[in-house]
Structure 1
């Protein structure tokens, strides 16, 4: 079903990882991609690109960085200045044992050291010296152990702690943070040592609002210890296959919960019934849970529910008519279920729906008519369905226009023509911003029906039957910022139409039809931050020269091409580049590392490595 393509379904580009640095430990699960949630108190957002004139503070920090070894302490500086110096050194990875010592007793508020190389227990003394001023600590991916957490006991005002991927912390470590009663955010994602006993240590954190225990496989039975956390609003136990219906019963009294993620757990219809009293629950992620359509009966009691993910739950059409009762829903994810186009009739009443995922469902053109009334829809996923060109007319309102024209031709009055278009009374999904048609049977001709979707920003056409002709009919969609033509058969001739998309930030063309001549038409898309030209084996170093002016690029992929080490010189201008992929090229890891050290300081992920 759908078009053939060389890209596997699990090889989608993840821009979130590019924004914070790429690490294998930070690979998101499918359920996390659906949400993109963050648990940091304050994420750093280093400025990118050239500034017309640096601020006085920027100049001072730059000077301090140059003379870093001359300073033994920064404790005499105002705290906000010390904080900015610290953040800059973290971002540039200039912290060492001696440099870190200079920040002792600086009363810093935020220590964002996630994935910082070499961080271990020996640095925790400096962390604790910030005392009651310290509000947020991110040590994710570090080598901190249970012993290191002892140092946090004097940081009584801590509000946020992130220990994701810290695989040396166990139940004993959790015992060390029991006195931090001001904590509102706590995260121990992907930990194999924490058990139900360890969760009992969290029972005294009465101000906890967000708790993330994703991929903690030994916490079965531990959620009972959370029943006293009356302020808890967000709980993530995704991919904990030890979570059962009994755990849901333990959560039934947490009436402040507005976000619950239990994807890939063992929760069944019975477990869902215990959630009926969580009347503030707005987000529920049940992806991959062994539930049936019967669980919808319980979910209809959740009046505040806005986001529901039932992907991979093996739902069938039976019982799905209850969807129509979930009228407050804004986001509905039904991907990878045995649901056919017939079920779409039960979605007609969800007029508040803003996002609908039907990925890999048995949907065809006939069922698409039932989506025409969802006028608030902003995101629609139809990937790997049987939707074709005919079904697209219900998205743009073309069906109504055609029926009106027919009525006019027959000499019917406006009133009489109503009966001729009873199922086509809407003007289309004019608020649609994101549309995924990858692996569908939509053809070039069908794309003409998208011309009325003027709000469209993201379009995925990863399908082999899409060609240059299809791209030609899309040129009026000038608001596009993301265009995925990964497997489409786009040639050099087709790239001429890209000039219409001046706002593009992300572009993927990997069908093998491009040469250096075609890449020249991409060089003027100066807003691009992500460019994927892999699989185009005719590309040479000249292509790198053509895109050397795309200085906003954060991610570049020219794998399986004829690019050589000599061509790397053209990438020196891409100072914002964080990810570079040149696999199956005549380029070695040593070549890229040399470029990284001399000209691309922000490059954190590259292949070959």
Structure 2
């Protein structure tokens, strides 16, 4: 059998989100990093349900997973089946060093073990036993060392290797992958032990298309070994503050480069001038680099440039007229720069823009008049600017807008009426103190809204009535939550105050009236925190199909916010966590019951 099932890879690019102003920060235990890996798991669903009948293959895989300790080897199975069993064991957390032995010599193609507990050098013998069939390996956040990499040197058909956050791998280990000339993707994010000398191992990887060395602080001078990698299309050296102008020269001949990320480096205008010949470059991330508007002379030669991040670059209005040359831009991030309305005058000709980030820039109402012609704009970030209600009239005709951030601006209720015609709007951030109940009435026509942030708004229960019929599936945070009673964390017997709760809630039509005594039930917050409330009892969970908690937090000792919300601050003593984060968790009513054992009122 072929490898059709196991070869379904996640093809998403892992470039930084240029719409936001800040590069992603990574921590070794961060859930966002797990979600961004290319781990693929075939769906194995044998739960009973109306109209559903599990396939025989799924039943067999499920049974094998449950009885994994009874199986010594899967080497006689077709490769696709053993691959699915392996994926299922990883996803369910049932794979260990003992059960791994059953997959020896199974000719598996993809081994995605990123962040899987217990992975170390002792696993590598079974990994390498897949031989020439092995195409991709992800061992991120493992305890694999240089000695473990020895096992991969004979897996000559490997195409993708991911060793992010493997801090026990050094230059010595890189020598063992130097002969893997079929590699197209290689990632060693956040490694302090890799130096310029070690990068010499990359010189022979002539088929490399994607290289990720983000947060590798010792690679200055090593980019010279990439000069002959002419097939390279994506290079990520974000947060490598050792990178200087001298490191840009070796990149000048990589004419197939399409994505270059060098944020928070020491590259200046001089270094950017080395990139003028990269005519296929479509993405450039210069966030936090000491460049000026003078670099726009070089960037204007990049005729394919579509995504440009210049946030936190200390740009001023001086030289901003050169932005007018970048006519193919789709995404432009100018956040946290010292630019004013004068700069926006040079953006009005960028009619292909789909995303513009002006967060924390010194712009006001008059500057927005230059955006009226940007009809393709879908995302507009105006947070922490001087924009007020009068300025919103200039963007009222941008009918393709899907996301607007107006937090920490001076807009008032009257300004919201100017947004009522933006029928494509899906996300709206109104974290602003001037917004009241009357302003929410203007939002009833925005039936496409799925995310609404009212954290700083001065709204009451009456204001939420305007949202009752339109925001059935929304993310809302803010003063609305102030009516929630104290929560108690059972282990510490301490009150926990809900801080930020954002959810996407899928409700049954009859789940509209959960009780007027709970103020946020109308927009689904109750479903997010339902696991913490015993008031409705277990029966309240039966009609809830599914909900996703994307961010749950608690406050401790933040006197300013507690004073603002008129609730009692939890005590500082004890082991009460200052923040609880639940990312990407989907739960049904059965899981909620177990959660209530740890959290109660």
With the length of structure 2 as denominator, give the TM-score of the two structures. 0.79
1:262 pairs with 2:262: yes
**In 1: Cα distance, 2:256 partner to 2:325 partner:** 23
Hey, what does 2:473 align to over in structure 1?
504
**Aligned with residue 453 of structure 2, among 481, 484, 487:** 484
Does structure 2 conserve the Cα–Cα contact (< 8 Å) formed by 1:499 and 1:524? no
Change beyond 3 A, Cα 1:451–1:53: farther
User: Structure 1 unaligned runs (5+)?
Assistant: 1-11, 30-35, 397-427, 534-538, 563-582, 590-594
Question: How far apart are residue 503 of structure 1 and its match?
Answer: 6.0
Tell me what 1:495 maps to: 464
Asked if the contact 1:490–1:514 (Cα under 8 Å) also holds between the matched residues in 2, the reply is: no
Q: Is the 8 A contact 1:115 1:139 kept in 2?
A: yes
Counterpart CA distance in 2 for 1:553 and 1:602 is 16
Query: Which secondary structure state, in structure 2, belongs to the residue aligned with residue 346 of structure 1?
Result: coil
Q: Which residue of 2 aligns with 1:342?
A: 342
> Residues 262 and 558 of structure 1: is their aligned pair in 2 closer, same or farther, counting only changes over 3 Å?
closer
CA–CA distance in 1 between the matches of 2:297 and 2:334?
16
* 1:455 equivalent among 421, 424, 428: 424
1:549 Cα shift?
Answer: 5.2
Higher deviation after alignment, 477-486 or 145-154? 477-486
Q: Bigger CA drift: 248-257 or 464-473?
A: 464-473
Q: CA deviation at 1:28?
A: 7.2
Question: SS in structure 2 opposite 1:176?
Answer: helix
Is the CA contact (8 Å cut-off) linking 1:519 and 1:543 kept in structure 2?
Answer: no
Report how many aligned residue pairs link the two structures. Answer: 517
Match of 2:436 among 449, 467, 492: 467
Q: Tell me whether 1:518 sits opposite 2:529 in the alignment.
A: no
Q: Which residue of 2 aligns with 1:86?
A: 86
How far is 1:66 from its partner?
Answer: 1.9
Instruction: Tell me the residue number matched to 1:67.
Output: 67
Deviations 1:313-364 (A, max 9, x none): 0000000010001101111000000000111110011011111000100010
Structure 1 residues 465 and 191: alpha-carbon distance in aligned structure 2, compared to 1, 3 A threshold: same
The answer to whether structure 1 residue 555 and structure 2 residue 556 are counterparts is no
Return closer, same or farther for 1:366/1:464 CA change in 2, 3 Å cut-off.
same
Q: Distance in 2 between matches of 1:25 and 1:523?
A: 29
- The answer as to whether partners of 1:491 and 1:513 remain within 8 angstroms in 2 is no
Q: 2:294 and 2:580 mapped to 1: Cα distance?
A: 55
Q: CA-atom RMSD, angstroms?
A: 3.5
CA distance in 2, matches of 1:145, 1:134: 20
Deviation at residue 505 of structure 1 after TM alignment: 5.1
Measure the CA separation in 1 of the matches of 2:44 and 2:312.
39
Shift in Å, 1:246: 0.6
Give SS of 2:272's match: helix
Matches within 5 A, 1:344-493: 344-396=344-396, 428-493=397-462
Aligned to 1:569: none
- CA distance in 1 between counterparts of 2:142 and 2:388 reads 49
Any idea what the Cα deviations from partners look like across 1:414-469, whole Å, max 9, x if unmatched?
xxxxxxxxxxxxxx111111111111111222111111111111111222222333
Is this contact kept in 1: 2:555–2:579, CA < 8 A? no
Q: CA deviation at 1:506?
A: 3.4
Q: Does 1:221 align with 2:221?
A: yes
Q: Secondary structure at the match of 2:368?
A: helix
Superposed displacement of residue 554, structure 1: 2.8
Take 2:76 and 2:279, find their aligned partners in 1: how far apart are those partners?
Answer: 51
Distance in 2 separating the partners of 1:184 and 1:233: 10
Counterpart Cα distance in 2 of 1:297 and 1:586: 47
**CA deviation digits over 1:140-187, x for unaligned, max 9?**
000000000111112111111110000100001111101111100000
Distance 1:27 1:270 in 2: 38
> Using the alignment, how far apart are the partners of 1:69 and 1:293 within structure 2?
63
Answer yes or no: is the 8 Å Cα contact 2:453–2:477 preserved in 1: yes
Task: Report if the CA contact (8 A) 1:435-1:460 is conserved.
Answer: yes
Structure 1 residue 492, shift from structure 2 partner: 2.9
CA contact (8 A) 1:525 1:550 kept: no
Native 8 Å contact 1:560 1:584 kept in 2: no
1:282·1:304 contact (CA, 8 Å) conserved in 2? Answer: yes
Hey, what's the Cα distance between the residues in 2 that align with 1:441 and 1:587? 30
Residue 166 of structure 1 aligns to a residue whose secondary structure is coil
**Contact kept? 1:147, 1:173, Cα under 8 Å:** yes
* Distance apart, 1:62 and its partner CA: 1.5
Cα deviation for residue 607 of structure 1 reads: 10
Structure 2 counterpart SS, 1:356: strand
Contact 1:532 1:557 (C-alpha < 8 Å) held by counterparts: no
Aligned to 2:17: none
Closer, same or farther: CA 541–557 of 1 in aligned 2, 3 Å: farther
Cα shift readout 1:477-529 (whole Å, capped 9, x = no counterpart): 11122222233233333333333335635333356433452232134998xxx
2:209 matched residue in structure 1: 209
CA contact (8 A) 1:492 1:514 kept: no
Task: Please say if residues 227 and 253 of structure 1, whose CA atoms lie closer than 8 Å, have aligned partners that are also in contact.
Answer: yes
**Structure 2 residue ranges without an equivalent (≥5):** 1-19, 485-516, 557-574, 582-586
Worse-superposed segment, 469-478 or 252-261: 469-478
| Higher mean C-alpha deviation, range 96-105 or range 51-60 | 51-60
Structure-1-length-normalised TM-score: 0.78
- 1:112–1:139 CA contact under 8 A, matched in 2: yes
Q: What residue in structure 1 maps to residue 197 of structure 2?
A: 197
Q: Post-superposition shift, 1:210?
A: 0.4
Bigger relative contact order (CA 8 A; separation at least 6)? 1
Could you tell me how far apart the structure 1 residues matched to 2:541 and 2:463 are? Answer: 18
Equivalent position SS for 1:508 = strand
**Other-structure match for 1:252:** 252
- Please give the alpha-carbon distance, in whole angstroms, between the structure 1 residues aligned to 2:59 and 2:480: 46
Q: What is the DSSP-based 3-state SS (H/G/I as helix, E as strand, rest coil) of the residue aligned with 1:483? A: strand
